[in-house]
Amino acid sequence: MASSSQNTGHSGTRLGRIVHACLLSGELLVVELSPGSDAEEVRSQVAQRLGLHPFEVALLQDGKKLQDCDHVLGDVSVLVQPFLSQDVIDELIQNMRAAGVAFSEGMTDEEVRQAEENCKICFPPDLKLFLQTAMPEGPEFPNWRRTVAVSVHDHHAVMRDDIHARLGGVQSFWYTEWGPRPEDRTERASLTARHLKGVPRLIPVYRQHFVVSGTPAGQPVLGVADPSRMCLLATDLAAYFSLIFNFRPVRPYLNCPVVTATFWGEIEKHLHLDPIEQRRFAEGSGFRYPDRPHVVITASRDMGRTASTWVFNATRLLFRQAKEACDSYWMRCLDRSKIQHRLETGAHVVIKTHEWTGEMSKAAFDEVSPMFTHVIVSVRQGFAEDPAWMKVATHVIHFEELVAYDKDHPEDPAKIGAISVLRKLANHLGLSSLTEHDLRCVDYDLMTLPMPRFGCDQTTKLWPFHGRRGGRPIPRLDPRSE
């Protein structure tokens, strides 16, 4: 149980309340709340104290679960629950049925055991609990009561061989859990082939969408057609089903997965090159590696509506147009060793990020920031700037200039603000040799980047909620065809 009392300072000013939260084991936790706090704050603090995710903690009052917006007015008990709790699963299934998905009875323990044995997999706890509640049916869902072992085996073999050919040899991908990375390419390729035999299998959820075998609950769902087309579809199963079957989320979306998808998560993160960028590995491609690679940071507030993803793509595409090798990544927490590892390819490194103040200390930022050669910040009138990034910005892009164009002459390059922004950005990056034609090509490529239907495109970092800002129509012709 939990009881609350007022906490006052020496002057009698109200500071908040003290909540005593009792676990079923009898352990008592003392939580101090700010005035006006609700159940979400209690749940978050209790979860942090227990080393759990807030989804794994529920608060009960008079036998009823409290919602996040409810105020904690009296005694409260704490219930530790699965990451994907039974009530969330029940709501997911109800919404999926309403969307037209048919279900059969949930799998028994014996059926789960047989499926895992036949397919040489281990269901993550959240998917297992979902399937044991009710099993979705249909041609695009796996039928775990019949043997799906052949398709799982075949898909795993194709993926493994393709990764060896593409990433193990050409792009020199090396998974850190394999130990020290051999410098010799032949030795590296040989060890890659050996290690790939033991990578965890992918478990189909629906269509070509998978979770990784043997991982804890809370891992992301990956869209996997082949190793060159893999993306993060959703940060967990609850978010995945609501996105795919188009119903209101049953709980808040996570900004990033709770559990990293091990080897496959690392593969997904390394798929950062588009087909043109990948040509740099071919003889005679014309791509050059710089003598002194840049580390370019493109930064903005999270969800700041400043076209920060446009800035990120503009930077990498300017390098691509200049045929200078460039690797581009998303990195929430800027880490010196991670950036140093990215620089090992010899290419420029472009990193998209948001606020660092909530992810790292000032001392940690001061340690890593000398590595940055350029810090490009995007801002917009009426939206708060990020003061920490503005202090170190080497170039600022204004949203209003970016989206400007002449509605009567929308394809007049002289009146397209984005082309002017691209010229300034190219000069800042040391790419002043790019011609006006080059800039028009980059502008066209930016205007025609495909928007993903689900999940995040790991090359462009675009999500389905992104939109082309400013209302400018897409150019009718590719300048290259003129």
Q: Are 48 and 95 members of one domain?
A: no
Q: Are 287 and 335 members of one domain?
A: yes
Burial label for 169, CB within 10 Å (0-12, 13-18, 19+), is middle
Boundary of a domain, candidates 60, 80, 100:
80
The CA dihedral of 125, 53, 43, 93, to the nearest 10 degrees, is: -40
Within 10 angstroms of residue 221's Cβ, the number of other Cβ atoms is 27
**Would residue 266 count as lying in a domain?**
no
Q: Are 112 and 247 members of one domain?
A: yes
CA nearest to 19, candidates 79, 69, 81, 77: 77
CA nearest to 119, candidates 92, 95, 146: 146
**Would residue 312 count as lying in a domain?**
yes
Residues pairing with 103 in the sheet: 136
Residues pairing with 65 in the sheet: 60
Q: Are 14 and 92 members of one domain?
A: no
Instruction: Give the pLDDT score at 13.
Output: 30
Six-digit token string for 52: 């759990």
Cα dist from 384 to 119, 189, 356, whole Å: 52, 49, 15
**Would residue 71 count as lying in a domain?**
yes
Number of H helices, E strands in the chain: 15, 17
**Would residue 279 count as lying in a domain?**
yes
**Would residue 222 count as lying in a domain?**
yes
d(Cα 282, Cα 41) in Å, to the nearest integer?
A: 54
**Would residue 265 count as lying in a domain?**
no
Cα dist from 6 to 17, 413, 418, whole Å: 5, 64, 56
Q: Are 290 and 384 members of one domain?
A: yes
Q: Are 320 and 412 members of one domain?
A: yes
Q: Are 186 and 43 members of one domain?
A: no
Could you tell me the residue range of the domain that residue 34 belongs to? Answer: 4-80
Six-digit token string for 56: 């794994």
Q: Are 334 and 382 members of one domain?
A: yes
Instruction: Give the pLDDT score at 313.
Output: 97
Q: Are 19 and 142 members of one domain?
A: no
Instruction: Output the pTM of the full model.
Output: 0.60
Instruction: Give the pLDDT score at 152.
Output: 66
Digit-by-digit pLDDT tens for the chain (482 residues) are 444 333 333 333 333 444 555 555 555 565 565 555 677 777 887 788 778 888 888 888 777 887 777 776 666 777 888 889 999 999 999 999 999 999 999 999 999 999 998 888 899 999 999 999 999 999 899 999 886 655 665 656 666 666 655 554 444 567 778 888 887 878 877 888 888 878 888 888 998 898 989 888 888 888 876 555 667 778 899 999 998 998 998 988 776 677 765 777 766 666 677 878 878 876 788 999 999 999 999 999 887 788 999 999 999 999 999 999 999 988 888 988 889 878 878 899 999 999 888 778 899 999 999 999 999 999 999 998 999 999 999 999 999 999 999 999 988 989 999 999 999 999 999 999 999 999 999 999 999 998 887 677 878 988 887 866 567 888 888 999 87
Six-digit token string for 60: 């009960």
Q: Are 293 and 434 members of one domain?
A: yes
CB 103 within 8 A of CB 187: no
Q: Are 250 and 276 members of one domain?
A: no
Enclosing H/E stretch for 190? helix 185-196
Six-digit token string for 280: 């740099």
Boundary of a domain, candidates 80, 101, 119:
80
Specify the residue for token string 């399937």: 131
Cα dist from 356 to 127, 254, 352, whole Å: 34, 18, 12
CATH number at residue 14: 3.10.20.90
Boundary of a domain, candidates 59, 80, 101:
80
**Would residue 385 count as lying in a domain?**
yes
CA nearest to 313, candidates 293, 301, 296: 296
Residues pairing with 351 in the sheet: 297, 329
DSSP character at residue 34: -
Q: Are 209 and 342 members of one domain?
A: no
Helix (H, G, I), strand (E, B) or coil at 125: helix
**Would residue 267 count as lying in a domain?**
no
Say how many domains are in the chain: 3
Helix (H, G, I), strand (E, B) or coil at 132: helix
* Sign of the alpha-carbon dihedral angle for 378, 379, 385, 391: positive
CB 264 within 8 A of CB 202: yes
Instruction: Please give the backbone phi and psi of residue 19, each rounded to the nearest 5 degrees, phi first.
Output: -115, 130
CB 80 within 8 A of CB 56: yes
